[in-house]
Amino acid sequence: MSAPQIRPQPQPKVVAHRGASHEHAEHTLAAYVAALEAGADGLECDVRLTADGHLVCVHDRTLRRTAANKNLVSTMDLAELNELDFHSWKNPWAELDDERPDTDEIGVLTLRKLLEAAADYDRRVEVAIETKHPTRFGGLVEKRLVEMLQDFGWDKEGSPVRVMSFSFTALQRVERTAPGVRLVQLIDKPQYWQLLRRVIGDDWLIGPGNELLAEHPKLARRMAASGHTMHCWTVNTLADLQMCQELGVEAIITDRPAYMLDALGR
């Protein structure tokens, strides 16, 4: 279904939240490829560290929702995760669909594989990486992340990567070791902004949830006037998009990149 186009206003970048996750299983290569083919400006992912030190794209601490497994991501090796099915939960009838293309996907998507896909694409693709905290590994998550960005040459100014977190401390770790990478302080409660606005760096971005902005319009206006660039999540309706445009949000993170691009006339 195409979206009705909304009246012209500043155009935010469209970032695919865990890929085109409205139609595809989140954090799968198929979801990210679909987002890129739709024209998304960027890709968003969550990362967790496996027991043997690999960064993988998984949102939840446990694997119950997306892989029908009761274990924690942090207690499993990459080889064990690659034995699990992260794909069919979104469409349990997929195996009965003769017209469904064979994607040859099995196992968990690693951050390295996602970054390789972004690097190999025929245009610039931005990548928003959220580190999840608290975690048993603490700062090792950011250490491994920065090391990987260095492998790609993406730890410097001009990098297509930005790192996001609800953890102020986690973002400080990245700032110390990769000062050229853009940082996004995620915010989901109004009281957190009152604290964080006093301590985050002048060049840090802020990432409020769209529900926070909608429920607290005065706070939304104060954030917009703070001098910090805003990236907003998770923007899935035309009303959310309109609000973000009125606030001058630079990028929207959405489960529905094709729908939002259509609404923007792109």
- Quick one: pLDDT at residue 10? 75
Q: Which has the closest alpha carbon to 183: 227, 139, 128? A: 128
b/e map 216-246, b = 16+ CB within 10 Å: beebbeebbeeebbbbbbbbbeeebbebbbe
Q: What percent of the chain has pLDDT over 90?
A: 88
Reported as a single tens digit per residue, the pLDDT across 21-54 is 999 999 999 999 999 999 999 999 999 999 999 9
Q: Which has the closest alpha carbon to 8: 264, 266, 260? A: 264
- Quick one: pLDDT at residue 100? 46
- What integer is the mean pLDDT of 156-183? 98
- Quick one: pLDDT at residue 90? 86
Reported as a single tens digit per residue, the pLDDT across 218-235 is 999 999 999 999 999 999
- Quick one: pLDDT at residue 6? 53
Reported as a single tens digit per residue, the pLDDT across 151-168 is 999 999 999 999 999 999
Q: How many residues does the chain have?
A: 266
Instruction: Give catalytic residues, as residue numbers.
Output: 17, 59
- Quick one: pLDDT at residue 5? 60
Burial class (CB in 10 A: 0-12, 13-18, 19+), 209: middle
- Quick one: pLDDT at residue 4? 63
* pLDDT of residue 101 exceeding 50: no
- Cα Rg of the chain (Å, integer): 18
* pLDDT of residue 92 exceeding 60: no
* pLDDT of residue 97 exceeding 70: no
Q: What percent of the chain has pLDDT over 70?
A: 92
CATH number of 13-61+109-263: 3.20.20.190
Task: Give the position of tokens 């995620």.
Answer: 186
Domain spans of the chain, in order of start: 13-61+109-263
- Quick one: pLDDT at residue 145? 99
Position with higher pLDDT, 99 vs 250: 250
Chain centre to alpha carbon of residue 204:
17
- Quick one: pLDDT at residue 8? 55
* pLDDT of residue 102 exceeding 50: no
